[in-house]
Amino acid sequence: MTKSRFERIAEFFRAHEKLYFILRIIYKYLPLLVYVSYPSLLVYLFFFGTPRELIKAVIVPAVTFAAATALRAVIDQPRPYEALGIEPLIYKETKGKSFPSRHSASVFIIAMAYLHTNVWLGAGMFAIGFFIVLSRVLAGVHYEKDVLAGLLFSVLLGIFGFYII
């Protein structure tokens, strides 16, 4: 994302208050929906799944989250609002740690856990994930490569953790 491109996006949202409101709702509440739903998946697997499914649904996301957190701390790439000198559409104080996006990694590994349990719920979580990562880029808190890296990181670890081992 370039500064001029973000400024055009920001101008559009600031000129369309209803769309700006929707962006803020998606940015704030869709991640919350995913994180609140994840324990429901674990409870479901506890009662109706196998012990192996439950263990995978706990361990694979935990390892992915920890690995993404460590990776972004090591890389410590500045966020768009730092590097480009822009005011993000949604205020954020975090400095650095932009790559990979931990929101992206988290939502997509949870989506992989759902996908492993139920294809339709997994597809729904993937759809929600795309709205979440889009909101992160549009708000100016992540680059496209940050959210794409988080998505690919989680999908690859999810394939390995849920389907190979």
Q: Residue 94: what residue type?
A: T
User: 20 φ, ψ to 5°?
Assistant: -65, -40
Instruction: For Cα atoms 137, 118, 66, give the angle at the middle one, nearest 5 degrees.
Output: 50
Note whether 141 and 9 are within 8 A (CB). no
pLDDT digits (tens, 9 = 90+) for 40-86: 999 999 999 999 999 999 999 999 999 999 999 999 999 999 999 99
Note whether 113 and 38 are within 8 A (CB). yes
**Reported pTM:** 0.95
pLDDT digits (tens, 9 = 90+) for 2-49: 999 999 999 999 999 999 999 999 999 999 999 999 999 999 999 999
The Cα-based distances of 109 to 22, 78, 112, 113 in angstroms read: 25, 24, 5, 6
The Cα-based distances of 55 to 34, 45, 47, 82 in angstroms read: 19, 9, 13, 39
Task: Count the Cβ atoms, other than its own, within 10 Å of residue 39.
Answer: 9
Q: Distance (Å, rounded) from C-alpha 158 to C-alpha 164?
A: 9
